[in-house]
Chain A
Amino acid sequence: MPIFISTRESDDQLRKKVMEISGQNFQQCYQCGTCSGSCPMADHITVFPRRIMALLQLGNRKALEEANTPWVCASCHTCMVRCPRGIDITKVMEALRLIKLRQNIDHIEPKKLKPEQVADMPQIAMVSGFRKMTS
């Protein structure tokens, strides 16, 4: 997937917002890819975490919004403990989720869950899932 780089396309507001919510300076990322190599969800995400960091550095809102990465991230913190630059990538993913959720755009609809799907499910699955994916 080619990335079109342009100052006009760069969304500085988004970059600032992600930094503000996450408290993380993604500018420090030097693109080593340890996060992508560590991600247990790598088979299921459309954009690897390394690339998410690059897209943030470029302020590419469109590509970031199209990525399913923050919504498949399970906050396992593996990327975070391995990042040689000390960036808490898990917090960056949370910020990307919250930017949507705070506009009341939910990722999952609790009432659409089938009763048989949740019958045996432990509370911690639902409490954490709803915390991460609904506003």
Chain B
Amino acid sequence: MKIAYYPGCTLKTKAKNLETSALACLDALGVEYEELPRWNCCGAVFSLADDDLIHMVAPVRDLIRVQERGEDTVLTLCSMCYNTLARANDLMKNDAEKRKTINDFMDEEPDYEGNVKVVHFLDFIRDSYGFDKLKPKITKPLTGMKVAPYYGCTLLRPKEVALDRPDNPQVFHQFIAALGAEVIDFPSATKCCGAYQVLGAPDAALQVSYEIISDAVKHGAEALALTCPLCDYNMGKRQDQMFEKYEGAKDMPVYYFTQLLALALGIPADASHLELNRESARELLKTKSMI
């Protein structure tokens, strides 16, 4: 059966390199998928107010799109979409009162009971595809490349939707290890990059992102692998601002996890759109003879 795939807004514009590389990987792994028709923006953040149900309508509507196709799983790539959809699903499943209010309000849609499973590409590979099945498909292992997996917040917190233990996650480590790279474990792997505070408190966000990169450098990382387009913005694109502000700031190549997977699977580099990454990301791959 084909798996329903939810891209989200950013993957169609600023993070094309995340989408194209991931879809090329799914093709190479023989996973059948279909982009969800008529998907809408999930709202990017889950509403944290008890009395705010209107912001549940957008993610729930996406989940209804999955349900009406008779599918039971939706695959996400963007960490923020994953978190928002998974939490909305959790609410619809476990809170009878709110479920009724939302279903009554969305009277143009069929009722939704929270029966779709929201998965992220990482736990899909771990739980449905399997690292054991993945390993033999790696034809160009990232041997000798020291990669630090950076989880960020939304794949791990809150624990109801966590892909792994929030305090000591392993799934991204296992993923990077399966690609043949050297996994660099560093304490800031689950620390927040500042997220949307790039709008409200941009200097604060820059500093926390800089601290994460510095920590990765200190632990010997040559590159950072991440899953979220907002983390990529804060820690990838904003590195130029770090060089201006912090003495000794190092240029850290940043990749989406699916770009590294695509390269390791031997998929031509065009699919990964590395021109959207930092120049240092391309240079590092050249020195490792990966492109």
Measured CB to CB, the residues of A under 8 A from B are 20-23, 40-41, 43-44, 71-72, 74-78, 80-81, 88, 90-91, 93-95, 98, 107-108, 113, 120-133
Contact present for B199 and A123 (CB under 8 Å): no
A127 x B200 contact (CB < 8 A): no
C-alpha gap A72/B196 in the complex (Å): 10
A75-B45 CB under 8 A given contacts A123-B13, A124-B80, A124-B230 = yes
Number of interface residues of B (CB under 8 A): 48
CB distance from B164 to the nearest CB of A (A): 12
Measuring CB to CB, which residues of chain B are less than 8 angstroms from any residue of chain A? 8-10, 13-15, 41, 43-45, 47-52, 55, 78, 80-81, 153, 156-159, 166-167, 190-192, 194-201, 203-205, 207-208, 229-230, 232-233, 237
Min CB gap B128→A, angstroms: 25
Complex Cα distance, B196 from A91, in Å, reads: 16
- A77-B44 Cα distance, complex, nearest whole Å: 15
> Known contacts A41-B204, A72-B204, A121-B233; is A81 also within 8 Å of B159 by CB?
yes
Contact of A22 among B50, B78, B203, B232 (CB under 8 A): B50
CB-CB under 8 A from A77, the residues of chain B are 153, 157-158
B196 near A132 (CB under 8 angstroms)? yes
18 contacts between A and B (CB under 8 A): A41-B204, A41-B208, A71-B200, A74-B196, A81-B166, A122-B10, A123-B9, A124-B8, A124-B9, A124-B10, A124-B44, A124-B78, A124-B81, A124-B196, A128-B45, A128-B80, A131-B44, A133-B200
Given the contacts A43-B207, A81-B158, A122-B10, A129 and B49 also touching, CB distance less than 8 Å: no
Q: How far is the CB of A116 from chain B (nearest CB, A)?
A: 12
Contact A76 B9 (CB under 8 A): no
Name B48's contact: one of A74, A90, A124 (CB within 8 Å).
A90
Question: Please, which residues of chain A bring their CB within 8 A of the CB of B51?
Answer: 20-21
CA distance A119 to B106 in the complex (A): 35
Contact A81 B167 (CB under 8 A): yes
10 shortest interchain CB distances as A-B pairs: A76-B192, A129-B199, A77-B157, A94-B48, A44-B204, A23-B50, A129-B196, A128-B196, A127-B44, A128-B44
B48 touches A121 (CB 8 A): no
Contact yes or no, B48 A75, CB < 8 A: yes
